[in-house]
A and B are shown apart, each in its own frame.
Chain A
Amino acid sequence: MPAEAPFAALRGQLHDAAGKFGGGEVAAEILTGLVDDVDRALREALEIFPVCHHSPASAVAMARRLRAKQPKVIYLELCEDLQPLLGELANCTLPVALQAYASELDGFPAEWGPLSVIAPITEASAEYQAISYALTTPGVELVCVDHSADHVFQQKPPERSTAEPPERSAAEPSEPASAEPALHGDAVGVQLGDLRPRFAELEAFLLHHGKVRHWSEWWDQYVEQPLVGADHETYRQVMVLIGSLFRRLTPDPGRLAEDEARERYMWTRIRAHHSQSTVDIGDCLYVCGAFHAATRVDQFGVDSTAAYEIGPRTETSWLYGLIPSSHSAIEAQFGLAPGSVSIAAATWSRATSGRGAVRPYRLSSAKSGKTAKASTPRVTTATAPAEPGGDMLSEFLSAPSRPGGLDDDELRGWCVDLVRLARRNGYLASTADAIAVFETSMLLAGIRGRHRPTPYDFSDAAVTCIEKDTVPGRRDVATLCGILLGGDRIGRVGYDALPPLARDVYDRLTPLGLDLTARTQKRALLDLAAQPELRPCSDLLWLLRRLLPDGTVRPIMGERTLGESSVQESWDLALGRNQRSLIELGYDGVTVEQVLEQRLRRAAWDPTATAGTALAAVEDSILFLANRRFTEELGARAVSLLAAERTVAGAPDVLRRIRRLLTYYRGVAPTLPGWVQEFVTAGYAHYCTLLPVATVDEETSVRQVAAMLGFLFSMESLALSLGCDRAQLELAVAQSHPETPATIALLWAARYQLGLLTLADLRSRCDELLGNPLTVPSFPAYLSGFVQALDPAPGLTGFVVEALSGAFARLPDEVLLPWLPTLLTTLRAEAAELMPLLVREAGRTFPGSLRALDTWTPPWAETPPAPIPAVPAVAGPAVELLAERPDSCDAVAALLGSTDPWHGTVSVPPAGLLTEHPATATAVAALLD
């Protein structure tokens, strides 16, 4: 029992206070328990340094402590498997996030994938100070001791639907301050020193009584400001006290159990490392969140012997990298108030600049020429260091709050700068407004009980004085204040810290001569005729466009489709702004080509893949990869997928794609590749087999049947030349007995195409339908079928125009009008295939001018001219020629299977033309003689 500890007096005081408040034993236990926790943490042989995330006060205290203590080993609450990445931070512009990423899961449910954990690092954080110190000071070892990314998910499945932490206060604005929060994607965020009330009521209570709007402001006012400049012991005790308070008021035992599991893990790792190390425990420092400093698990302390078994990782292979982050992304990820991380950054830069300020540790890039050096140790504590373990809490808790916030000069500077910024953004702001903002800031600070205005007061004052009824430009005053206070800083991952794929992309785009790491959008102009050496860049850009999200690389001019490429191209490139997508692409492979190949392969061999997806993959492989063997592999896969399909749902897609591919191959190669030939013959047989079923199947639409027929008729000549039998198609059509009017009409068209029906038959059938009052209402459905038949039977276009015209002329309005929207939507959806045919035919049929309309009669209404009887040519030079040389005719007859030889002697008078103009025939005869 630590009754004789230095906290005895404080403990007694708190016990009395609990009695006075009437909280009973529970309150007394909580209050004195807080002191016990502080006492326990401070007595631990391994120095525990409690921190809070993105807290400049923590960072300042950390920098001071590191200079004073010069520890040899630092244990850090950070995923242990992220440690190898820390060295790369030197190549980056902060804030960036360490990322662990896994897309191929083994041991986790497949629907969780891809898994991603990110740990953002800002400059104004204690962990960055510890990392920089450890990496720049020779002989210092840094050990990350927290759960690995794998263990993070073992303990807690990803919650994609709830990006916001549940305890987020209702008073906080819900909309993100900028468009950048998507920078982290849907990764699970981990951060060092998560310190926040664990239930909404406590946070609401603190905010209400603290007279502040959101948690960041409360923390700034009640913890940050008083602690800036505090000595190490006070800092430690206060932080552990707050951690202990939130810990003891955690209502959710499940969440506490998660934290305790992590604490057991961390202490087990620390003990394991320390037992193998020769470094004295006094030279070690354990940096963890204040919440974990107040832990009560058995494994706490280096002297503890309580065992804890660390479970194995799953077989999932994790990939690691750095991605850019930003202040607003961090705020969005962790539910902080917009602008709070920027304000923390501003406070940090104030604390580290000027005379007597703390000297921070920084990682410097190896490239910049500066050597990564350890700063000489120098103690620069703001106040005299207290005796370790003494009670600093009583004094701190009873002392009046110290003046913090902005000094007059700084505030004045901000007011002037803000007015200038506002003017540039369309506000009619003047010097008078600067004065008003200054005055109002002071008054607001006064009414809120602060000695000096804080950035939050300044921002409120600016909104009060400058914002009027409308916002003149794109940015309102609150946004301008955010910009002034450092704005949303966006980090950048340096070249050396990029994965090989991203480096390769940057290298290959070097000939463009653009700085692609910049965050601004760049315009690339490629004149491929004049500079053919830029062709590989163009290929790469098209590939990137296929793989990266929209807006990263965007063609302004030029296109790439099958068989077409541009002579000039113009691109908008925003690779710098979308570095994360490029980096995440790097987790999938070493080059972009390899990534695309993998993705195409995955798509084509997916259990849900269809022939259409495989053909799409074939197209992509031709366009982007130029790898013939791979294309053929994908083509073969398409053939097997088509043969295995049992429905015709994908028929329209298949037809469109195979037509495009056929056109392409006919243009570039003398013969069609083997897989295309196989695809056509397999498709012909496949669709012939499915046709009878598809025409009666209720789930198969007319469009799909039309696409099947389109395939059969348009590929027919090719299929027959490759050995298919036309009888198969004729049989299939004969076996089809559709029941719905649209499909019936479609089948009539098919039979017409096969020569089994004549145009006159079709016409008379339509007339019958229109003439019978019982069938008139279903006539539009027949018409829909005919419209769909334009694709498989283009010869029927004239008849379709005729039928449509007839429908408009003869159908009653109550039948015609409800059908018109269906017709329009059909034509619109299939515009590319159907409209050109229909419009051309209609243009041919209908008169071109209004005047001509009066005298116009539709061609189908004209009485057909009497057929001129065919008069066989019986005499003349042609007949003579044939009679004299019967060999050719006999040979053709033999070829056609006729054994009857041709007798050229027919005594019929010669036809008029040959009689009147015999010159040609005579000339040919003379030539042959």
Chain B
Amino acid sequence: MTDDLLRAPAEVKYADELNWLESVDDGPKPFSWRLSPKMVRLFILGSERADGLEREIPQKWFGDRSFVERAIVTLASDRGLLLIGDPGTGKSWLAELLSAAICRNSTLVVQGTAGTTEDHIKYSWNVSMVIAKGQSRESMIPSPIMTAMERGVIGRFEELTRSTSDVQDALISILSEKYVSIPELDDDNIVFAQPGFSIIATANSRDRGVNDLSSALKRRFNFVRIPVVTNKKSETEIVRFRTEELLKRHAIELDVPPSLLSILLQSFADLRAAAQSAASDDEKLESALSTAEQIGVLEDAILSSHFFGDRTLTAQRLASSLVGSLARRSPEDLAILNKYWHGVVEPRSKAEGGEWPAFLDGGRDTIATLS
């Protein structure tokens, strides 16, 4: 089935692994969870030899173990889980993995936007059916959250802080009373949450202040802050993991040389350091320089090498993708990249050699084209 889909959800993609884990899991499971908390952790963080499992479980999310543990125990408690962090830190991916492991369903998602209404969180009506048959449970369209309540599974709310405060507050009663009443109906007018229901919301810390959460809603969520990955080893792992996935999806046979990967990581590390020391927003790139951005740059370079190049990834192409992806504002971003290229990449290419001179040329050309 995974081959038919452009992007299969985690529970489909890792169905085999989840089935196997369920079959060997003898730990206590809260509510209607399909796996015990320890197995959920193992599914997400991968197995060790010391775990004594017959099958190796690969690591799927890279980050501090305690974040995952705290997220899992929150879902086993009475509160919802709010993953908060910079864009591209893997919040949604962690939410998807958690939902897939706990209830094998990660698709009950509400996407928070400025246009999200209370109907998207609770329920709405199939108008033609209401006209034909009147208001009934049949003509009601439950929201993903309500469906999650009915089934006792995890509902997800992406970008919670993008939706307006009054819409957010519809979650308060769902998280406290654990039911939704439907006043339009005379009977069967309350939907109770089944055991196992919980909500994983994600929020972008850069959106702080747009639609702040009310104190009442904050109280009902446990916050787990996911930091930007700055550990080089973890970052390499993440980029490699995601790139392999991408190459597999596009059936591309292309080798990513480790030296290029290290150039990519090094340049992001440099640009992050520069952004940290910048005094104003104009002096730093608009991009959050997250790991996801790195993957995006590499993906761009791989695809363009594959389709327009000679099917080998070169340093020029990587540099060109990097500049192309990061230069969003002209002239601010281009000026910063130009400064970086001449102030850091140029001396480094002289000092270290290797792929750096080609990287320098590629970036310089692209900056010249875009300027």
Answer whether A and B are interacting partners. yes
Are B37 and A446 interface neighbours, CB within 8 A? yes
Q: How far is the CB of B345 from chain A (nearest CB, A)?
A: 27
Knowing A447-B73, A464-B73 are in contact, say whether A436-B65 is a contact too (CB < 8 A): no
Are A440 and B231 interface neighbours, CB within 8 A? no
Knowing A209-B50, A447-B41 are in contact, say whether A440-B69 is a contact too (CB < 8 A): no
Q: State whether the Cβ of A666 lies closer than 8 Å to any Cβ in chain B.
A: no
Q: State whether the Cβ of B77 lies closer than 8 Å to any Cβ in chain A.
A: yes
Q: State whether the Cβ of B350 lies closer than 8 Å to any Cβ in chain A.
A: no
Are A432 and B65 interface neighbours, CB within 8 A? no
State which residues 408-448 of A face B: CB under 8 Å: 428, 430, 432-433, 436, 439-440, 443-444, 446-448
Q: State whether the Cβ of A271 lies closer than 8 Å to any Cβ in chain B.
A: no
Q: State whether the Cβ of A468 lies closer than 8 Å to any Cβ in chain B.
A: yes
0/1 string, B71-106, CB within 8 A of A gives 1? 011101111000010000000000000000000000
Neighbouring B residues of A447 by C-beta, 8 Å = 37-38, 41, 69, 72-73
Q: State whether the Cβ of B328 lies closer than 8 Å to any Cβ in chain A.
A: no
Neighbouring B residues of A444 by C-beta, 8 Å = 69-70, 73
Neighbouring B residues of A463 by C-beta, 8 Å = 70
0/1 string, B208-244, CB within 8 A of A gives 1? 1000010100110011110000010000000000000
Are B222 and A465 interface neighbours, CB within 8 A? yes
Q: How far is the CB of B130 from chain A (nearest CB, A)?
A: 39
Name which residue of chain A comes closest to B233, CB basis.
A170
Q: State whether the Cβ of B56 lies closer than 8 Å to any Cβ in chain A.
A: no
Knowing A468-B218, A468-B223 are in contact, say whether A443-B76 is a contact too (CB < 8 A): yes
Q: How far is the CB of B195 from chain A (nearest CB, A)?
A: 15
Q: How far is the CB of A435 from chain B (nearest CB, A)?
A: 8
Name which residue of chain B comes closest to A209, CB basis.
B50
In the assembly, what is the distance between CA of A449 and CA of B28, in Å? 12
Q: State whether the Cβ of A213 lies closer than 8 Å to any Cβ in chain B.
A: yes
Are A428 and B219 interface neighbours, CB within 8 A? yes
In the assembly, what is the distance between CA of A443 and CA of B40, in Å? 14
Name which residue of chain A comes closest to B81, CB basis.
A464
In the assembly, what is the distance between CA of A433 and CA of B218, in Å? 12
Knowing A447-B73, A464-B224, A469-B208 are in contact, say whether A439-B78 is a contact too (CB < 8 A): yes
Are B79 and A209 interface neighbours, CB within 8 A? no
Query: A428 is contacted by which of B73, B76, B215 (Cβ under 8 Å)?
Result: B215
Q: How far is the CB of B214 from chain A (nearest CB, A)?
A: 11
Name which residue of chain B comes closest to A467, CB basis.
B223
In the assembly, what is the distance between CA of A443 and CA of B222, in Å? 14
In the assembly, what is the distance between CA of A464 and CA of B72, in Å? 11
In the assembly, what is the distance between CA of A463 and CA of B64, in Å? 15
Are A170 and B73 interface neighbours, CB within 8 A? no
Q: How far is the CB of B103 from chain A (nearest CB, A)?
A: 18
In the assembly, what is the distance between CA of A443 and CA of B74, in Å? 9
0/1 string, A101-132, CB within 8 A of B gives 1? 00000000000000000000000000000000
Are A440 and B77 interface neighbours, CB within 8 A? yes
Are B77 and A439 interface neighbours, CB within 8 A? yes
Are B231 and A170 interface neighbours, CB within 8 A? yes
Q: State whether the Cβ of B119 lies closer than 8 Å to any Cβ in chain A.
A: no
Name which residue of chain A comes closest to B48, CB basis.
A209
Q: State whether the Cβ of A496 lies closer than 8 Å to any Cβ in chain B.
A: no
Name which residue of chain A comes closest to B231, CB basis.
A170
Interface size grouping (class) on chain B: 20 to 34
Which of A213, A444, A447, A461 counts the most B-chain CB atoms under 10 A from its CB? A447
In the assembly, what is the distance between CA of A430 and CA of B219, in Å? 9
Q: State whether the Cβ of A211 lies closer than 8 Å to any Cβ in chain B.
A: yes
Query: A465 is contacted by which of B37, B65, B72, B79 (Cβ under 8 Å)?
Result: B79
Name which residue of chain B comes closest to A444, CB basis.
B73
Q: State whether the Cβ of A632 lies closer than 8 Å to any Cβ in chain B.
A: no
State which residues 172-230 of B face A: CB under 8 Å: 203, 205, 208, 213, 215, 218-219, 222-225
Name which residue of chain B comes closest to A211, CB basis.
B65
In the assembly, what is the distance between CA of A469 and CA of B41, in Å? 24
Are B70 and A460 interface neighbours, CB within 8 A? yes
Q: State whether the Cβ of B371 lies closer than 8 Å to any Cβ in chain A.
A: no
Q: How far is the CB of A423 from chain B (nearest CB, A)?
A: 13
Q: State whether the Cβ of B66 lies closer than 8 Å to any Cβ in chain A.
A: yes
Are B77 and A436 interface neighbours, CB within 8 A? yes
Are A469 and B50 interface neighbours, CB within 8 A? no
Neighbouring A residues of B205 by C-beta, 8 Å = 469
Knowing A170-B231, A436-B222, A464-B224 are in contact, say whether A213-B77 is a contact too (CB < 8 A): no
Q: How far is the CB of B187 from chain A (nearest CB, A)?
A: 33
Knowing A464-B224, A469-B84 are in contact, say whether A443-B37 is a contact too (CB < 8 A): yes
Neighbouring A residues of B203 by C-beta, 8 Å = 469
Name which residue of chain B comes closest to A430, CB basis.
B219
Q: How far is the CB of B82 from chain A (nearest CB, A)?
A: 8
Q: How far is the CB of B212 from chain A (nearest CB, A)?
A: 9
Neighbouring B residues of A428 by C-beta, 8 Å = 215, 218-219
Neighbouring A residues of B225 by C-beta, 8 Å = 467, 469
In the assembly, what is the distance between CA of A436 and CA of B72, in Å? 14
In the assembly, what is the distance between CA of A440 and CA of B73, in Å? 6
Are B66 and A443 interface neighbours, CB within 8 A? no
Name which residue of chain A comes closest to B30, CB basis.
A443
State which residues 446-477 of A face B: CB under 8 Å: 446-449, 460-461, 463-465, 467-469
What 8 A-B pairs are tightest by C-beta distance, nearest first? Answer: A443-B73, A464-B70, A447-B37, A464-B222, A468-B218, A468-B223, A439-B77, A444-B73
Extra 5 A-B pairs, beta carbons < 8 Å, given A209-B48, A433-B219, A464-B223: A209-B50, A436-B79, A440-B70, A447-B38, A460-B70
Q: Would you mind naming 9 contact pairs between A and B with Cβ atoms under 8 Å apart?
A: A432-B219, A436-B79, A436-B222, A440-B74, A440-B77, A447-B69, A464-B223, A465-B222, A469-B208
B residues near A (Cβ < 8 Å) are 37-38, 41, 48, 50, 64-66, 69-70, 72-74, 76-79, 84, 203, 205, 208, 213, 215, 218-219, 222-225, 231
